[in-house]
Chain A
Amino acid sequence: MTPQPPEQGPEGQGDDREPVDLRPYLCIPYWSAPRFAGDTPDSGQLRPLPGDVVSWLCPGIHASPYTPGAKLEVTVDVRNSGRGNAAVVASVVVYWVDPTVGFSKPTLLGATVASVPPRGGRATTPTVSGVIPATAPDHICLVALVTHPLDNPGTVIDPVGDRHWAQLNLVRVKAAAGIPVQLAFLAVNPFAHEAIFEIDVHRMEMDVLKQLALSLKAEPSDVRVHVRLLDDRAGHERDAAARLALDAGGRRVFNLTVDVAGELAPEQMTAVEVVLRSDERREPVGSLGVVIQGAER
């Protein structure tokens, strides 16, 4: 598009008699290029995240390969869509958690600062590194927070609904033919009050799977999967959905079993998504992805 000479708006952009709110408006972007014609890069304004954005795989969080007991290095992209003409110092904090679909007890990996210009300015943090204990599970999630004293996040870790938070699952499993994939996770109430939740487990839609495969440099497979949930407390197996009541900050363990109905080649992948919704909010309050790749032969 040919740039046109800028024009003053009807309200008079040059009118500086009115005050300007110069606080930062920070986010960890979930997309950096328009997703479709007319779209804009993620400024953080579109929260809860739209349905075609994978909330547990934020491309703004960059992590080195994860091995329990080894050093993990993370950098985080930050965007400031606030006003004014001067950069701010944003604090970026990275936590890791056991796989959950709600995060109540994160462990600090590290924190750093980055200067981020306003009006859509971007920055990538210096590397935050830390050693996640050898006793940690093979599958963890990273959650990152960007904050500033004049642009504070909510106190609930909410990558879906709060632009200050983002999530990256480091859950990738290899599926050998005929052997189900098993994973334990926690359903956690992030609210400070009792609430009713629904867990929904499903294979990801093919269009989203294709995007995901692209970012993981793998081929999406349309292989069928069958998921089962074992509720530890109830002691019985459920289908791919469950309703439960949790006290404030309450948690419950579930075991997820995924049967892959067929064989995945090593370069192929599919993915199962676990979504936790509350009755009081239509959008997810937490989500978890399990990327299943074919095992090496």
Chain B
Amino acid sequence: MIDYRAHASAFEGVRKSLAAESWGDPAMTAARDETLADVALAPDHALLGAFVDHLFTHAVSDGTEIALLERSSALWGQGLELYELLGSARKDLESALANPGNPASADLFNGAAMDSQRLAQGMHALQASIFSLRDDIAAQPHLPDHPRQLDEPASNWDWGNFHLARRTDAFARTLADRADDPATRAFAFGALTAYGGNACGSAYVGHVVGGPRRAHRFRDRLARNTLGSWIAAHDASIESLATMSQRLQFGAASAPTLPAAVETLIQHALSGTFDLTHTQPVPDLQLGYRRLVRHLELLDDFVRPSLPDMPMPVFTAKLFGDPANPPPTIRPQDATVTGDTGGGVSVGTNTPGEPTPGKDDSKKTSGSVCGAILALLILFAILLVVAFIKCVIEWADGKKCNYFEELGDLITGLFKKDEPDPRDPPTSENPGMSSAGLTAFAGTDQAVQLVGYLWDMQIQLWEALENSYSYLAATGLIYPDGLLELPLYEQFTAIPGAGGWPHRPAADSGGSYHLYPTSPLENPTETPSPFPSKATPNVFAAGQDRRAATPAGVALPVWEQIARGDLDSPNLDLDADRGFQHQCWSTGGSIDDDPLNVVVLGYDEH
């Protein structure tokens, strides 16, 4: 099963390939023209068809993934707001300090002080929600076990997994057969491109993962999302996920609804393809549709912030003018604390990392570091802001404030304790700096120090957001957009060299999915894909070469057969569970048997 962007790419590849086809048979040409006209007339229905597998998956889901993403998105938005607030407070504060004689500067300074307190309060208020979310994501409940791997009989499988592994070709044909107007025909064509996209894309994913989705669900999700990011980075025609979401919204904007004709088409295609007395009940397609639309929308919420502005030139010159006296930092230099195993520490001389996936890439490391950085940052913010407000009276007298002077030592001492004591957030208090006081303070070293500390804090906040983004990507909740060069994701963008396939599930799949599996092979072994070593995702995503293992290569022969009224194609397993072009199969015995008894199903069987 591939992601939204790969499906969008597959759709476009198959459509272009169909448009380029020619036959001597006028009936075929007319059929082609009708399909292309349908897609042009109802492109959004076609896109919805291309996401039919995701529609089913959302319909049978318990809603965990959307719920986690909703919480993540909300916290991400609040984090961005605080980041912007700090940027704005810095700007005002620097402006006031650079122009202390300006009558408006004292108010600007006091406003910045108030904003800083709001910042520390806001960060403190978010802390519990962030840690709770991190812990809830850590178990990755959004990626449940595959029923085949649990030895469940197919009749017990949810429709998300069932429709990818049973009568797949037949379902695509039945959709096309029952579609009777441009919109439903466009939907059916989209579903056919999804058939081709999944058959090829899943083979690529399974190859780079080291085994099929059912055995490596965490690693599969990481690879699937990576491919989506890769495709978006290499194909400018791929729309944003938010745009896709907009396109899929039918009916009232406030309550998008799966078009009745499409819902009916799917229902008829299911009953025409499967014996529904031997399956789970057909899920609520409207619910799946609403989640699909929302999921696409949420995925685009995670926009990384721009970097913090440098301090104003006058302060930059003071902070960096003498390399022998670097700007002060409020980060402890000898140790940072995590409170979690697997978290980040920094003791002694640092060393370079490895360019290959390793323990740096584990979910646990990401989560611990994410939490540790946040905990540090919140404490820094509270201590700094408290010091800031406490010192205003002395600063206004042109004096050096000892409390501020000792801030570095205080913080270092604090973090020698694992974990540091929590601190209450500051109260809101207008420091009441006067114009005369500001003038007295503006020229002091501590004014420059304050500017430097706040700049350092905004950098830390940027890095905390970056760590959160990294954690959400590493747990498969969001796309790793912008992270593709990191070893964790880069491993999925080139086919590995020869090696046995598929691997059985790893003993600790939740803790080691960032690594290529070294678990025993599942016999009989198979060839995962026809893709050569080093091949990048465009080997299947380009999709227009119908002779190759591309979506067009799989989908167009089926389209032709539908148009001619022929039936001579197998049902392909759309997870490429036993390799490319493997047919739908059932387990003759247990999934843990060695060798596995792979029973290829007849065309009509499920």
Contacts and interface: CB of A to CB of B under 8 A. Distances in A.
A4 B534 CA distance: 9
A5 B361 CA distance: 17
A147 interface: yes
Contacts of A83: 352-353, 360
Interface residues of B, number: 72
Choose among B344, B354, B462 the residue with the greatest number of A CB atoms under 10 Å from its CB.
B344
Contacts of A150: 331, 333, 336, 346, 350
A82 B316 contact: no
Contacts of B565: none
B307 A19 contact: no
A136 interface: no
A19 B470 contact: no
B604 interface: no
Interface in A1-21: 2-9, 12-21
A197 interface: no
A82 B345 contact: no
A149 B329 contact: yes
A292 B325 CA distance: 36
Interface in A127-168: 145, 147, 149-153, 155-157
Given A19-B338, A21-B345, A6 B352 contact: no
Interface in B276-328: 307-308, 310, 316-317, 319-321, 323-326
B356 interface: yes
A5 B360 CA distance: 18
B533 interface: yes
A182 interface: no
Contact of A25 (B353, B361, B485): B353
B456 A82 contact: no
A119 B353 contact: yes
B341 interface: yes
A118 B353 contact: yes
Given A16-B511, A84-B365, A121-B485, A21 B357 contact: no
B533 A3 contact: yes
A41 to B, nearest CB: 10
B516 A15 contact: no
A6 B320 contact: no
B326 A147 contact: yes
Nearest to A130: B313
A293 interface: no
Given A84-B353, A86-B467, A157-B323, A19 B344 contact: yes
A18 B474 CA distance: 19
Given A20-B344, A43-B352, A113 B515 contact: no
A3 B494 contact: yes
A93 interface: yes
A170 to B, nearest CB: 19
A2 B366 contact: no
A17 B497 CA distance: 30
B323 A145 contact: yes
Interface in B193-245: 210
Given A111-B316, A149-B331, A117 B353 contact: no
A23 interface: yes
Contact of A22 (B344, B486, B487): B344
A6 B516 contact: yes
A149 B327 CA distance: 9
A89 B353 contact: no
A85 B515 contact: no
B371 to A, nearest CB: 13
A17 B350 contact: no
Contacts of A147: 326
Given A111-B316, A119-B487, A13 B357 contact: yes
A45 interface: yes
B351 A21 contact: yes
Contacts of A156: 324
Contact of A6 (B357, B366, B470): B357
A112 interface: yes
A114 B307 contact: yes
B485 A85 contact: no
Contacts of A95: 323
Contacts of B85: none
A9 to B, nearest CB: 8
Choose among A18, A22, A108 the residue with the greatest number of B CB atoms under 10 Å from its CB.
A22
Contacts of B366: 85-86
A225 interface: no
Contacts of B323: 93, 95, 106, 145, 153, 155, 157
B466 interface: yes
A89 B308 contact: yes
Given A6-B356, A85-B474, A85-B483, A16 B499 contact: no
A4 B321 CA distance: 49
Contacts of B508: 14
A152 B333 contact: yes
B342 A5 contact: no
Choose among A24, A115, A121, A149 the residue with the greatest number of B CB atoms under 10 Å from its CB.
A149
B534 A113 contact: no
A120 interface: yes
A241 interface: no
A181 interface: no
B359 interface: yes
A88 interface: yes
Nearest to B518: A8
Nearest to A7: B518
A62 B331 CA distance: 31
Contacts of A7: 516, 518
B364 interface: yes
A87 interface: yes
B343 interface: yes
A169 interface: no
A278 interface: no
A205 to B, nearest CB: 30
Nearest to A121: B485
A270 interface: no
A81 interface: yes
Contact of B353 (A17, A18, A81, A108): A81
B359 A22 contact: no
Choose among A2, A87, A152, A157 the residue with the greatest number of B CB atoms under 10 Å from its CB.
A87
Interface of B: 210, 307-308, 310, 316-317, 319-321, 323-326, 329, 331, 333, 336, 338, 341-347, 350-362, 364-366, 369, 456, 459, 462-463, 466-467, 469-470, 474, 483, 485-488, 491, 494-499, 508, 511-512, 514-516, 518, 533-534
14 contacts: A2-B498, A3-B495, A6-B496, A14-B511, A18-B342, A22-B346, A23-B344, A87-B466, A88-B463, A108-B321, A110-B316, A111-B320, A114-B307, A156-B324
List the 6 shortest-distance A-B pairs measured between CB atoms, nearest first: A83-B353, A14-B512, A81-B352, A22-B344, A149-B329, A13-B358
Given A8-B518, A20-B344, A89-B308, 18 more contacts: A12-B359, A13-B515, A14-B508, A14-B511, A20-B359, A22-B344, A22-B346, A22-B365, A84-B365, A85-B486, A86-B467, A86-B469, A88-B466, A91-B320, A95-B323, A106-B323, A151-B350, A156-B324
